[in-house]
Amino acid sequence: MSLQDDLTTLVCLFHHSDRAHSAIQDLTQAGISPSTITLIGGKDALVDALDKSELASLGMPNKDYDHLKDGIRDGGLVLAVSAAAKDAGRIEHIFEKHSAAKIDEAEKSESEAFASAVPSAAAPPATSLNAETAIPVVEEEMVLGKRTVDQGGVRVYRRIVEIPVEESVTLREEHVTMERRPVDRPVTDVNLAFGVRTIELTETAEEAVISKNARVVEEVLVGKTASEHTETVHDTVRKTEVEVEEIPSSTRTIETTRRS
């Protein structure tokens, strides 16, 4: 018998998104594959979100199905987990831990748990000779999407730094000199022009004057470039296999002993 026959789908309703996401986190930590977890609904969910999901084909009772749709319409979230029957107990415990609402008992408290939408395929077959039993064959398909993740980047800073520089410049100085020297020559008319006379000589000196001119000598261009590559994603999808085993008829032999 195929191992797929032990699969079952557990469905519950959450009225608070934080409880639903906490339950998903606990499920993944418990070893439940994220690909088997379906979350439907939320604040911006469409009214027919449930009708467009895989849960619409599970064949759950109309009463339970309508209760789920009402919960989504009120802003709730439907959480479904497809798992092996042996893991059902762990999943049920996580649902109860995060106060999931039963889908088949709408009037009860949220803390009373969940319901199983699809019975296990390992249930015994019908014994009525005139009844027909429909065995659903379920097959998954991989839906590939994309999301943007942060892979780091660069941060550009611009700051002012001071760099010591030096230049040489020649500076000129003028100094006044005075010298007395003895002479002996005849007096001329120029020398006889007595009077008050003042002569001023000024000493000068050059000093270095610093001025600065700012010029743009380089530009740093910051931008982003986009590239694309093709990546092959490997995963597994599940499907239901139905095996038919012929049961041989049972024959009983009656032995007759004749007495003389």
Specify the pLDDT at position 194.
61
**7-118 belongs to CATH 3.30.70:** yes
List, for residues 184-219, the tens digit of each pLDDT value.
Answer: 888 777 766 666 677 888 999 999 998 889 999 999
Residue 77 makes CB contacts below 8 A (sequence gap 6+) with 13, 14, 17, 20, 39, 40, 41, 42, 71
Looking at the DSSP bridge assignments, the partners of residue 118 are 9
Among 103, 116, 118, 115, which residue's Cα sits nearest to residue 15?
103
pTM: 0.37
CA dihedral 188, 191, 194, 197 (to 10 degrees): 150
Specify the pLDDT at position 103.
62
Mean pLDDT value across the chain: 77
List, for residues 218-237, the tens digit of each pLDDT value.
Answer: 998 988 888 898 989 888 88
> In this structure, is the dihedral angle defined by the CA atoms of residues 43, 44, 48 and 52, taken in order, positive or negative?
negative
List, for residues 12-22, the tens digit of each pLDDT value.
Answer: 888 888 888 88
Q: Would you kindly state where each structural domain of the chain is located, as residue ranges?
A: 7-118
Sequence-separated contacts (24+) of 119-123 with Cβ below 8 Å: 119/8, 120/6, 120/7, 120/8, 120/85, 121/4, 121/5, 121/6, 121/7, 121/8, 121/240, 122/5, 122/6, 122/85
> Exposed, middle or buried by CB within 10 Å (0-12, 13-18, 19+), for 55?
buried
Question: Residue 10 in contact with residue 91, Cβ under 8 Å?
Answer: yes
List, for residues 72-122, the tens digit of each pLDDT value.
Answer: 778 788 888 888 888 888 888 888 888 777 664 433 333 333 444 444 444
